Structure formats: C-alpha cells, structure tokens
C-alpha cells in the first residue's frame, strides 16, 4: 500500500521504516512483510501446514484448548479465526504460533490466519467436539483452606493453579500469600514452591500464552480499607517450570481489589476491579501495565462479571445491585464503549460465552423492598449481533448469589451452590442446576459434597470440572477441599 510518509512515497507493506503505517519502524533484524514486522531473513508466503492439539486437531466446544499452529510467514500482529470465532494467539517464530480456542459450535470449522494484507485458510482444519461428565462429585484436600474466590486458572500443562484466598470468611486479616496446584493426571494437590509478593483474596489468575500465569488483586475491602498490610498494586507471575512466583517487572498503576481478569486475543490481559471504573491492560511482551480510561461508564463493576466475546472483544458489566450498565472493550483499538443494559441489576453473578456466541449471565443478587438482598433465579442472554439483553423464559430451580458456575464440554452450564432466598450467612446450598441454553431447559444435577458459596469453578483441559474456595459469611473457617467432577473418557 503506497502512501506519502514525510516527503517520500513509500510502500507500507514492505518499507521497514514505515511498516504498516508511517513511522512504524521494524527492528534491525526484521523485514516488513505484508505490513507487519517479521523477524526473518525473507518474507515467506503465509500458510498453515499443520495444527497440533491434544485431541488430534480437535477441541471442546466449551473452548479453552491450546493449539500449536505450524506454517510459514507468521508475524505479529497476527489474527487467527476458528470459524467465526477469534482465538487468542502468540507468534513464537515465523513458523510457529500458540493459540487458545474460543467456544464454538460442534463440527469442523475453517482455520483462517491473517498477517497484514495476507490471509490463508485451512479448510476444516479444526473440529469442535463434545463430551460427558462422571458423577458423583469427588473431594481433594488442600493444605490450607482457601475461602472466598481465590484466584484459579488452568495452566497449559493441564494443572490448575489456586492462589490466595482466606482461611476465615470476610477476614482480610486471614488472607493468604500461598498457592496450591492440582494435577489431574496424578490426582494430587501440591504446594507452590514459594509465596506470592503479597496476600490476596477475591483475586484473579490468567494463564498467558507463554505458559506462565499472571496473578493480580490485593487483600483489601472493596474501598481499599482493611488491607492486611498487602500491596494491591503488586502482581505476580507464576512459572510452571519451577512452580515459583516472581513479582512482575512493573506494578499496576491503580490499586486493584475484587478483580476480574481475562486473556485478550492479542495475548495481553484485561483487568477490572471493584474500586475503579477504569480498566488496566498487562502486556507480557513489554512487561507493562497501562490504564484504559472508561469514558463509557463512570461506574465500577463491583462484584460484576467479565466475559470474552467470540469476536475477540470483552464484555464487562453489572456489579452492585442497581447497576445494569455493560461495557465493551475492543483490544484492536484499546477503546471502551457502552452496550445494551441488563434488564435486571445484578451483583455476585456469573457469566459465560456460549458456543453460539451469546453471553449468559446467571443469577446474582438484587435489592428488594426493605433492603433485603434477594438472590435471583433468572438468566439473561446477550446477543452481540444486536447488543441487546433478553431475559430467558427458563429459570434456575432456586435463586443463587455468589455461586460458582462452569461451561462444560457438552455446551451446558453447571450453576453450583451459592446463597439463596433470603440471602443470609446460613442460607448456602449444595444443589446444582444444569442449564442447557440450546434446549432452553434447566435440570437438576448431582449435588455437591458440601453446601458452598463464595467460590469459583473452572473446566479443565480434559473436560473435568473443579470448584474451590467456598465458605459462608459468619463462620470461623472456610472449606478445606477442592470439589472435583471427572470428565468421561471420549473416543477419538
């Protein structure tokens, strides 16, 4: 693409001093290939030759699988689409890229790769599959109890990191700086080799595309009081090769508590928190945190939700019981815009992006007459095509707030435990609802080993479900176990 840069007319598709745009200079060892800087000796034609995955070119419709793409001409920034869903991608070298899959509909989809003006398609290169779960629930003991939403993330090697939490519900003074790792293959729980740089609870962990995990969020109340001497500006990186934490090279710009965080399609991490309406982005390549001012909404999403849309944008919304606002972050432009408001104010809810692209928000708490906090049994769905929310005609069996939920590999959602009506410290439950958004039904599922609330769940790489972190307010001790639901073997 020829354009005037300064006093010269240059081709921004090949000019290393103006690659992709005027003034965008490539490094000394890089070439400008199709408008993107490429650390290579020649501008090879873009191609995808093979895809590595644990399921031999397949993954679960719930997403979250890690793929390795092989080919030629790879360079950052690179976009990868599986069907009409955009995947998170990290270019390792001109022949290799690491990809994390979004949720997607069952069946074979094309894999499209874009670098600058070049595009290549591997037709039917990836297959979304389904699978079952095996009941009953199992339990695995932790070395420490970890109440109230400790950070949890599935590592690329299949293990699960559980970091922080508190031994006594509602007590920041009892927050933890330790972490544990669940290994599915050996069915064991082990401690991390060292502690984090500060104590954390209601915190977040996100696995990066280089295999490490970012952990953020201090041990403070949502107004930054009662901080237990912690540093809510600090962040840690967990290295699975050594099982050790190290502080990030730079700190957050804004103290962050009650965090929500998600991996972006370009490999960065978006972070929101209860104490600020503005967001922050961590760039692992530059090792920096950058504030993104929220000009769309002046409200912090206290106890709200965050969900990655299948097109690569991120939906952040709700929070306090009267907050119906929802924001959209676009990683390509680093901008935040307002989108359609929820039909119901919701706090302490959960949300999941479905294989069909909709986002389901589940339960949460609202405020009723007399100031009583009532958990909700209702479910709303966001359609990114219309930017509108619809209250679903089906409901859960009971109102749930501060529950856990997981999108599982058969495309359904398990809504687990939580506080119920009226929301009191003793009103936690052990029931599980299985939400089928395709059939539009809610069915009872196997009950939990314990009544549980203020906890978190994830779906593992083998399709199993793991929940951790419970413990009701008003009690002296959080729950000491992981609740575990194995994935059923799936024929290849």
pLDDT in tens, 251-266: 999 999 999 999 999 9
Establish if 490 belongs to a structural domain: no
Q: What is the 3-state secondary structure (H, E, C) of the chain?
A: CEEEECCEEEECCCCCCCCCCCCCCCCCCCEEECCEEECCCCCCCCEEEEEECCCCCEEECCCCCEEEEEEECCCCCEEEEECCEEEEEEEEECCEEEEECCCCCCEEEEEEEEECCEEEEEEEEEEEECCCECCCCEEEECCCCCECCCEEEECCCCCEEEECCECCCCCHHHEECCEEEEECCCCEEEECCCCCCCCECCCEEEECCCCCEEEECCCCCCCCCCCCCCCCCCEEEEECCCCEEEECCCCCCCCCCCCEEEECCCCCEEEEECCEEEEEEEECCCCEEEEECCCCCCCCCCCCEEEECCCCCEEEECCCCCCCCEEEEECCCCEEEECCCCCCCCECCEEEECCCCCEEEECCEEECHHHCEEEECCEEEEECCCCEEEECCCCCCCCEECCEEEECCCCCEEEECCECCCCCCCCEECCEEEEECCCCEEEEECCCCCCECCCEEEECCCCCEEEECCCCCCCCCCCCEEEEECECCCCC
- State whether 337 and 418 are in the same domain: yes
Residue 294 is assigned to a structural domain of this protein: yes
Q: How many CA atoms lie within 13 A of 8 on its CB side?
A: 8
Residues 184, 207 share a domain: yes
Alpha-carbon distance of 266 to 285, in angstroms, equals 11
Examine the domain organization and report whether 6 and 62 are in the same domain.
no
Q: How far is Cα 230 from Cα 198, in angstroms, rounded to an integer?
A: 5
Q: Is residue 335 part of a domain?
A: yes
Residue with tokens 């020829």: 2
Confidence of residue 472 (pLDDT cuts 50, 70, 90): confident
492 inside domain? no
Contact 416, 404 (CB under 8 A): yes
Position 430 confidence tier, pLDDT thresholds 50, 70, 90? very high
Residues 145 and 124 in one domain: no
Is the same domain home to 331 and 432? yes
- Of the pLDDT bands very low, low, confident and very high (cuts 50, 70, 90), residue 492 is low
Instruction: Confirm whether 418 is domain-assigned.
Output: yes
pLDDT of residue 423: 62
At residue 34, does pLDDT exceed 80?
A: no
The reported pLDDT for the residue numbered 326 is 95
C-alpha span between 405 and 349 (Å, rounded)? 9
Q: What is the CATH number of the domain that holds 166?
A: 2.120.10.80
Is there a single domain that holds both residue 300 and residue 336?
A: yes
The 10s digit of each residue's pLDDT in 125-167 is 999 999 999 999 999 888 888 888 899 999 999 999 999 999 9
Give bridge partners of residue 114 from the DSSP assignment.
Answer: 79, 119
Q: Considering only CA atoms, which of 353, 387, 380 is closest in space to residue 364?
A: 380
| Cα 187 off chain centre by | 24
Tokens of 42: 């020649």
How far apart, in Å, are the Cα atoms of 226 and each of 174, 217, 221, 251, 488? 11, 14, 6, 21, 44
Tell me whether residue 123 is in a domain.
yes
Of 129, 146, 166, which residue constitutes the final position of a domain? Answer: 129
Give the separation between CA 159 and CA 188, rounded to whole angstroms: 10
320 and 221 belong to one structural domain:
yes
Q: Do 220 and 87 share a structural domain?
A: no
Position 425 pLDDT exceeds 80:
no
Q: 190 with 175, same domain?
A: yes
pLDDT category at 42 given cuts 50, 70, 90 is: low
With tokens 């435990």, the residue in question is 417
Q: Which long-range contacts (CB under 8 A, 24 or more apart) does 167-171 make?
A: 167/477, 167/478, 168/475, 168/476, 168/477, 168/478, 169/454, 169/471, 169/472, 169/473, 169/474, 169/475, 169/478, 170/473, 170/474
Task: Indicate the average pLDDT of the chain.
Answer: 92
Residue 363 CA to residue 413 CA, distance in Å, equals 12
**Together in a domain, 26 and 107:** no
Boundaries of domain holding 258: 138-485
Shared domain for 119 and 142, answered yes or no, is no
| Within-domain flag for 401 | yes
User: Is 491 a domain residue?
Assistant: no
Long-range contacts of 51-57 (CB under 8 A, 24+ apart): 51/111, 51/122, 51/125, 51/126, 53/126, 54/461, 55/129, 55/490, 55/492, 56/492, 57/125, 57/126, 57/127
Q: Which two tokens stand for residue 309?
A: 């849309």
Distances (CA, A) of 384 to 124, 216, 289, 339, 359: 25, 29, 28, 9, 8
> Which of 129, 161, 180 represents a domain boundary (last residue)?
129
In the chain, the number of structural domains is 3
Residue 174: φ, ψ to 5° = -105, 15
Last residue of a domain, one of 108, 129, 150: 129
Mark whether 444 and 314 lie in a shared domain.
Answer: yes
Residues 7-18 have pLDDT tens digits of 889 989 888 899
- Least confident range from 72-76, 299-303, 329-333: namely 299-303
Read off the pLDDT of residues 169-205 as tens digits, 9 standing for 90 and up: 888 999 999 999 999 889 999 999 999 999 999 999 9
In the structure, what pLDDT confidence band is assigned to residue 41 with cuts at 50, 70 and 90? Answer: low
What's the CATH number where 78 sits?
A: 2.60.40.10
Would you tell me how many other CB atoms lie within 10 Å of the CB of residue 68?
Answer: 13
């Amino acid at each position: 693409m020829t354009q005037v840069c300064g006093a010269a007319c240059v081709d921004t598709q090949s000019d290393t001093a103006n690659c992709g745009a005027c003034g965008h200079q490539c490094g000394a060892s890089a070439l400008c290939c199709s408008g993107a800087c490429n650390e290579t000796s020649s501008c090879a034609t873009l191609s995808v030759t093979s895809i590595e995955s644990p399921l031999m070119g397949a993954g679960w419709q719930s997403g979250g699988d890690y793929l390795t793409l092989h080919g030629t001409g790879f360079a950052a920034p690179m976009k990868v689409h599986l069907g009409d869903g955009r995947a998170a991608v990290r270019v390792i070298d001109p022949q290799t890229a690491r990809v994390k899959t979004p949720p997607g509909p069952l069946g074979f989809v094309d894999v499209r790769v874009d670098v600058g003006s070049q595009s290549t398609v591997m037709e039917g290169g990836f297959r979304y599959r389904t699978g079952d779960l095996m009941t009953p629930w199992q339990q695995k003991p932790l070395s420490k109890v970890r109440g109230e939403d400790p950070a949890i993330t599935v590592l690329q090697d299949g293990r699960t990191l559980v970091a922080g939490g508190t031994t006594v519900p509602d007590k920041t003074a009892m927050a933890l700086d330790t972490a544990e790792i669940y290994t599915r293959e050996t069915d064991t729980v082990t401690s991390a080799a060292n502690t984090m740089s500060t104590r954390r609870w209601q915190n977040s962990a996100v696995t990066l595309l280089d295999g490490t995990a970012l952990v953020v969020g201090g041990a403070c109340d949502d107004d930054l009081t009662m901080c237990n001497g912690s540093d809510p500006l600090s962040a840690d990186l967990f290295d699975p090769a050594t099982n050790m934490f190290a502080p990030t090279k730079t700190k957050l710009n804004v103290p962050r508590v009650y965090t929500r965080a998600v991996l972006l399609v370009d490999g960065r991490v978006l972070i929101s928190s209860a104490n600020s309406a503005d967001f922050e982005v961590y760039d692992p390549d530059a090792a920096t945190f950058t504030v993104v001012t929220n000009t769309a909404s002046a409200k912090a999403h206290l106890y709200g939700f965050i969900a990655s849309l299948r097109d690569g944008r991120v939906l952040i919304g709700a929070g306090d019981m009267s907050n119906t606002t929802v924001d959209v972050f676009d990683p390509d432009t680093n901008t935040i815009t307002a989108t359609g408001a929820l039909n119901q104010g919701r706090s302490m809810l959960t949300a999941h992006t479905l294989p069909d692209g909709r986002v389901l928000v589940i339960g949460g708490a609202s405020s009723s007459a007399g100031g009583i906090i009532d958990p909700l049994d209702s479910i709303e769905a966001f359609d990114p095509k219309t930017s509108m929310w619809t209250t679903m005609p089906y409901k859960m069996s009971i109102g749930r707030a501060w529950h856990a939920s997981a999108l599982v590999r058969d495309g359904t959602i398990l809504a687990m435990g939580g506080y119920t009506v009226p929301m009191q410290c003793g009103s936690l439950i052990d029931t599980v609802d299985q939400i089928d958004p395709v059939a539009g039904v809610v069915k009872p599922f196997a009950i939990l080993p314990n009544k549980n609330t203020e906890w978190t769940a994830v779906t593992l790489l083998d399709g199993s479900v793991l929940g951790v972190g419970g413990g009701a307010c008003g009690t002296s001790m959080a729950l000491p176990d992981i609740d575990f639901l194995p994935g059923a073997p799936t024929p290849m």
